[in-house]
Chains A and B, each alone.
Chain A
Amino acid sequence: MMNATINNNQAIPLSQIPEISYDRFFELNTGLITGSTERHCVSYFGYPEGEKIKLICCIADDQSHLIQVSSCVVGRSDDLESMTVRNLCFERFEREIHENFGVSFPGHPWLKPVRYPHDRFDRSQTISNYPFYSIDSDELHEVGVGPIHAGVIEPGHFRFICNGEQILHLEIQLGYQHRGIESLLLRKKRLPERVAIAESITGDTVVGHTLAFSYLWESLCGYQPPGEVENLRTIALELERIAIHTGDLSAACADVAYQLGNAVFGRLRTPIINFFQEWGGNRLAKGLIRPGCNPFPFTQSLADRLLTVLEAYEPDFNEMRIELFKMPSALSRFERTGILSNENALSIGAVGMAARSSGLNRDIRTSHPNSLYERLQHEPIIKHHGDVYSRLQIRKQEVGQSIQYLRNLISQSPVFENKPESLGSPKPDSFVLSLVEGWRGEICHCAVTDLKGDLLHYKVKDPSFHNWMALALAVRNNEISDFPICNKSYNLSYCGHDL
């Protein structure tokens, strides 16, 4: 047997993942990806095992709903054949392993730093001397943007190579937001501290990341959350989706100078996040979700209140979206702008909304469902043009879909019974993986425990890790003035990538 086969949120003994040679590891994982559009790499990482590095690769199969986990042990100074040469989707994962441990991948086309972590292998590499790609030509010019941007957003550096107004190439350099999340998760030993860190991975996906952490931790402890907790978690995840999609439609309107859309969508986000505050005391849902317990029950009066909020929200949202999507001056900016082809989306392993806008059916809610998505019989919304318009269409339609799900979940809310349950302690010597479809896409958390049941390694992957490359490809051959709208249509996370 070459690998272990698991479900989403299934903890297995580490010994069940066979250690194979790198050659077989290489053949297995590239073989799984090549020619199979239903499979993609959800996580590939390394961690120190004595003097050596243990590599673990997880390939998810969307049709069989299973995840193939394989492992191998390599030396720090080994030269490993690059999987990127066969499948581009391993590109950033291999760069990350190289940056962290110094393992070399000859043949990798682009073995550059990913995020300049504090514990990187080569401390002589600093963020101010990133090796940008450049072209020597009298015809071309470079435009550098960032790390600090014009708006109130996070830092990152964009380097454009342009021919006149046209973008030939964009290189995105990240790492400014690196706070040491993964190593801090190991060092902080108490659960409340760890949840507080998980909540801070990205402040715009608080529910998504906290859920991934909670499911992972509960699986490690062999704890099954009761039905009413599953119910309220699904409600929170869909509410977050509505809030951010609405906010992003507002920002997209701002980028094409459509004031009314900007103001109306912007104000429509408020009642949704204010509902989070009424429920859990925080507008961005911090503190709402905790593993193994339920600090803020979703009571009948909250359910009634949410229905009232949605009733007021829906007609105003619909009125505005109908107007926006029939306005020629806005549509001419959205349509055929920032196209990511299906082929490119597939090769770079795009996930979530970015993949679905390019005709790729990737949605954890159907492929590896957790919570109540099986009962909801979720059908992903897929668009085929891969342009800004497709991505905004998805946002618009997902808002409608989420509202339906919320009504469904509220009507079938199980009665809340306040019974204290004990979470238990994490299983020793285990591996567990948790996938959650946040509003951006697939969030993947993996953990390995040691012989005492303490965390040996924790790996966080935000969907932005895959999708920044999607943005870089989508803006090619567009006018540089269309970059903001392309960027906003993806709205990727800097801190989720930098960790």
Chain B
Amino acid sequence: MLEHIKIIYHQGKQFIPNIRTAQVPGIFRGRPVISRAMVNERELQDMCPLHAIGSDPVSIDLGKCSFCGLCAREHPDKIKFTTDYKMAVNERESLIIKEGDDQSLKINPETVRKEVRRLFGQSLKMRQVSAGGDNSCEWELTAANNVQFDMGRFGIDFVASPRHADGIVITGPITENMAEPLQICYDATPDPKIIVLVGTDAISGGIFTDSPALDRSFLNKYPVDLYIPGNPAHPLTIINGLLDLTRKKTS
């Protein structure tokens, strides 16, 4: 017992007091900023292994970007990745960052379904489905619940059964072999329910976009409530995204 108290004492305070304003250490690659510097746009587009860079005006689609930072290393005057981790949005088009854009990405409250904030504003229980996820986003979702990020303090948790869930969190590009289990899980979740996509692979298919082993037809059938980009998504991106979606007060 005394040993336990000693260990607890030695840990000090581990939790992040304010999840909204926490700073990430080091050179985290979050929301990019694209300057108006002149570059060879064609070369820039071709460089991106995930074809996330668009032209006229130059843009980066965070739903496709793997955040590898290659473009920023090759063209430091044109593209910079900031440490802004608040990147979750509820409209797919908002993930496309254009030349000159330098505001934080925000949830559009107009398009959040009314029942989401009314029903899930105090408590949100989610069923996670990995559908071809490479276990990196899964690690980060687990980390969001550890003693440091402590998502549970906001009443947001992952539950074991879809019957207990208010929605599903999908990671991975949705493989053909997982399409049916995903559908069964969604059908088993009681209405009203939300769909959250976590990570580049889930949002666009990522590097697997044109793989014949995928079946993404599930996403054509239902509206997506939240897109959380990243490769993998950072726990702070995940928690802030879920809070922004479900809470009326977003400060």
Chain A complexes with chain B: yes
Interchain CB contact under 8 A, A281 and B27: yes
Interchain CB contact under 8 A, A179 and B11: no
Which B residues touch A178, using CB under 8 A?
Answer: 132, 175-177, 213
Contact of B138 with A by CB under 8 A:
yes
Q: Tell me the A300-348 residues at the B interface (CB within 8 Å).
A: 315-316, 319-320, 323
Which A residues touch B181, using CB under 8 A?
Answer: 147-148, 155, 176
Contacts A153-B138, A323-B7: A184 and B211 contacting too (C-beta < 8 A)? yes
Shortest beta-carbon distance, A184 to chain B, in Å?
5
Which B residues touch A494, using CB under 8 A?
Answer: 135
Interchain CB contact under 8 A, B11 and A176: no
Interface size on B, residues (CB 8 A): 68
Contacts A281-B69, A316-B10: A286 and B231 contacting too (C-beta < 8 A)? yes
Q: Tell me the B1-20 residues at the A interface (CB within 8 Å).
A: 3-4, 6-8, 10-11, 14
The tally of CB-CB contacts under 8 A between chains A and B is: 192
Question: In the complex, what distance in Å separates the CA atom of A118 from the CA atom of B213?
Answer: 5
Shortest beta-carbon distance, A382 to chain B, in Å?
27
Question: In the complex, what distance in Å separates the CA atom of A128 from the CA atom of B172?
Answer: 20
Which B residues touch A151, using CB under 8 A?
Answer: 142, 158, 160
Contact of A203 with B by CB under 8 A:
yes
Contact of A425 with B by CB under 8 A:
no
Shortest beta-carbon distance, B188 to chain A, in Å?
10
Question: In the complex, what distance in Å separates the CA atom of A270 from the CA atom of B148?
Answer: 9
Shortest beta-carbon distance, A117 to chain B, in Å?
7
Contact of B219 with A by CB under 8 A:
no
Contact of B50 with A by CB under 8 A:
yes
Q: Which residue of A lies closest to B161 (CB)?
A: A150
Interchain CB contact under 8 A, B3 and A323: yes
Shortest beta-carbon distance, A212 to chain B, in Å?
15
Which A residues touch B173, using CB under 8 A?
Answer: 179
Question: In the complex, what distance in Å separates the CA atom of A152 from the CA atom of B233?
Answer: 15
Contact of A493 with B by CB under 8 A:
yes
Q: Tell me the A166-197 residues at the B interface (CB within 8 Å).
A: 175-180, 183-184, 187-188, 190, 192-193, 195-197
Q: Which of A155, A260, A284, A319 has the most CB of B within 10 A?
A: A155
Interchain CB contact under 8 A, B138 and A278: no
Contact of A204 with B by CB under 8 A:
yes
Contact of A453 with B by CB under 8 A:
no
Contact of B201 with A by CB under 8 A:
yes
Interchain CB contact under 8 A, A203 and B10: no
Which B residues touch A279, using CB under 8 A?
Answer: 26
Interchain CB contact under 8 A, A180 and B143: no
Which B residues touch A260, using CB under 8 A?
Answer: 4, 7-8
Question: In the complex, what distance in Å separates the CA atom of A196 from the CA atom of B209?
Answer: 12
Question: In the complex, what distance in Å separates the CA atom of A282 from the CA atom of B136?
Answer: 11
Contact of A6 with B by CB under 8 A:
no
Interchain CB contact under 8 A, B207 and A284: no
Contact of B141 with A by CB under 8 A:
yes
Contacts A283-B234, A287-B67: A323 and B4 contacting too (C-beta < 8 A)? yes
Q: Which residue of B lies closest to A260 (CB)?
A: B4
8 Å CB contact of B14 from A204, A267, A295: A267
Contact of B75 with A by CB under 8 A:
no
Interchain CB contact under 8 A, B207 and A200: yes
Interchain CB contact under 8 A, A180 and B73: no
Interchain CB contact under 8 A, B146 and A266: yes
Q: Which residue of B lies closest to A150 (CB)?
A: B160
Q: Which of A187, A201, A277, A279 has the most CB of B within 10 A?
A: A277
Question: In the complex, what distance in Å separates the CA atom of A319 from the CA atom of B9?
Answer: 12
Contact of B78 with A by CB under 8 A:
no
Which A residues touch B81, using CB under 8 A?
Answer: 281
Q: How large is the interface on A (under 10, 10 to 19, 20 to 34, 35 or more residues)?
A: 35 or more
Which A residues touch B146, using CB under 8 A?
Answer: 263, 266-267, 270
Question: In the complex, what distance in Å separates the CA atom of A319 from the CA atom of B5?
Answer: 12
8 Å CB contact of A152 from B128, B176, B210: B128
Contact of A127 with B by CB under 8 A:
yes
Interchain CB contact under 8 A, A284 and B213: no
Question: In the complex, what distance in Å separates the CA atom of A152 from the CA atom of B146?
Answer: 13
Contact of B112 with A by CB under 8 A:
no
Interchain CB contact under 8 A, B133 and A154: yes
Which A residues touch B161, using CB under 8 A?
Answer: 150
8 Å CB contact of A277 from B28, B138, B175: B28
Contact of B119 with A by CB under 8 A:
no
Q: Which residue of B lies closest to A180 (CB)?
A: B213
Contacts A155-B130, A184-B208: A196 and B135 contacting too (C-beta < 8 A)? no
Question: In the complex, what distance in Å separates the CA atom of A375 from the CA atom of B177?
Answer: 45
Q: Which residue of B lies closest to A271 (CB)?
A: B25
Which A residues touch B49, using CB under 8 A?
Answer: 190, 192-193, 195-196
Question: In the complex, what distance in Å separates the CA atom of A320 from the CA atom of B6?
Answer: 10
Q: Which residue of B lies closest to A316 (CB)?
A: B10
Contact of B29 with A by CB under 8 A:
yes
Q: Which of A270, A274, A282 has the most CB of B within 10 A?
A: A282
Q: Which residue of A lies closest to B211 (CB)?
A: A180
A residues contacting B by CB (< 8 A) are 116-119, 127-128, 147-148, 150-155, 175-180, 183-184, 187-188, 190, 192-193, 195-197, 200-204, 206, 247, 260, 263-264, 266-267, 270, 274-275, 277-284, 286-287, 295, 315-316, 319-320, 323, 493-495, 498
B residues contacting A by CB (< 8 A) are 3-4, 6-8, 10-11, 14, 24-29, 47, 49-50, 66-70, 73, 81, 127-143, 146-148, 158, 160-161, 172-173, 175-178, 180-181, 185, 201, 206-208, 210-214, 231-232, 234
Q: Pull 8 A–B residue pairs with CB atoms less than 8 Å apart, ordered by A.
A: A118-B212, A118-B213, A176-B181, A179-B175, A193-B50, A203-B133, A277-B27, A295-B70
Given A183-B211, A287-B29, 14 additional A-B pairs, CB 8 A: A151-B158, A153-B138, A176-B132, A176-B181, A177-B130, A177-B172, A196-B68, A204-B139, A264-B7, A267-B148, A277-B27, A295-B73, A319-B6, A494-B135
